């Protein structure tokens, strides 16, 4: 952990281009666990599995809201959209303050590396661009519990929107690493490319730049554009 902090401070001072623990490797894929079951079924997932799982869960919750909970269509729509927006904030907070906080904590570093650091080292690995179902279900259950404590029955459509926000996120994230940048989403592609290949302590938003703008963690758009073009050419 001490080496990571040294690398972080060296990066801030401009002595290294990227901290070594967040530097992309030449290989496309890297191993996280020696155990093949842990490696293939706990730490990896095809993107479509995660997308299908949460679309079905979100749709089922909406059906339940309209058929059994007694909420109006209008309130379901508003709460659903609120959940989508809240996901983008949660995405930003987790990415910035959990995954990119440099400390000497061995526990935090282990969480960071297993959940996110391996992705920075192998950003094009197609099976590490969404959280696998088992840990994802555990985290989703935790979030729903928190929403229920605050919103009670209104937590259902809010949670459905939160889950669909996650689906948008993993879909964008997968596309940003696996396909060439489309013109319509050029700025989001540049934003995330710069985070990976120039400054992992800026540009934390993946599905939106909104919270980076609000909290002042946006990098120079001209530099982002230049970096993205260089990366595409290579």
Domain match, 55 and 104 both: yes
H or E stretch at 121: helix 118-121
Average pLDDT, the chain: 91
Q: Are residues 97 and 139 both part of a single domain?
A: yes
Confidence of residue 94 (pLDDT cuts 50, 70, 90): very high
| pLDDT band (50, 70, 90) for residue 85 | very high
Query: What does the buried/exposed string (b/e) look like for 193-214 if buried means 16 or more CB atoms within 10 Å of the residue's CB?
Result: bbbbbbbbbbbbbbbbbebbee
Q: Is residue 175 part of a domain?
A: no
Answer yes or no: do 188 and 105 share one domain: no
pLDDT tens digit string along 1-41? Answer: 678 888 888 888 888 999 999 999 988 898 998 898 889 88
pLDDT digits (tens, 9 = 90+) for 39-77: 988 899 999 999 999 999 999 999 999 988 888 999 999
Q: Given this model, what pLDDT does residue 197 score? A: 92
Structure token pair of residue 175: 């596309």
The Cα–Cα gap between 180 and 174 comes to 11
Give the pLDDT score at 3.
83
Q: Are residues 145 and 215 in the same domain?
A: no
Residues ≥6 apart with Cβ < 8 Å to 167? 50, 51, 54, 55, 58
Question: Do 60 and 138 fall into the same domain?
Answer: yes
Do 78 and 162 lie in one domain? The reply is yes
SS3 26: coil
pLDDT at 217: 95
Q: Are 137 and 50 in contact (CB under 8 A)?
A: no
Residue ranges making up the domain that contains 233: 180-234
């Amino acid at each position: 952990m001490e080496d990571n902090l040294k690398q972080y401070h060296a990066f801030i001072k401009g002595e290294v281009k990227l901290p070594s623990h967040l530097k992309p490797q030449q290989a496309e894929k890297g191993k996280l666990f020696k155990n093949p079951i842990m490696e293939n079924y706990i730490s990896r997932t095809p993107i479509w599995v995660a997308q299908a799982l949460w679309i079905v869960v979100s749709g089922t919750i909406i059906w339940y809201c309209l058929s059994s909970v007694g909420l109006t269509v209008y309130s379901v729509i508003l709460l659903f959209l609120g959940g989508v927006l809240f996901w983008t904030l949660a995405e930003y907070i987790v990415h910035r303050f959990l995954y990119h906080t440099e400390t000497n904590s061995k526990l935090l570093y282990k969480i960071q590396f297993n959940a996110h650091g391996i992705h920075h080292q192998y950003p094009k690995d197609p099976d590490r661009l969404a959280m696998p179902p088992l840990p994802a279900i555990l985290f989703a259950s935790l979030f729903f519990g928190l929403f229920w404590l605050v919103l009670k029955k209104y937590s259902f459509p809010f949670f459905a929107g939160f889950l669909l926000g996650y689906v948008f996120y993993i879909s964008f994230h997968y596309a940003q690493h696996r396909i060439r940048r489309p013109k319509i989403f050029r700025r989001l592609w540049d934003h995330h490319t710069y985070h990976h290949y120039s400054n992992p302590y800026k540009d934390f938003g993946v599905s939106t730049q909104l919270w980076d703008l609000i909290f002042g963690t946006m990098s120079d758009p001209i530099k982002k554009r230049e970096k993205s073009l260089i990366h595409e050419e290579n």
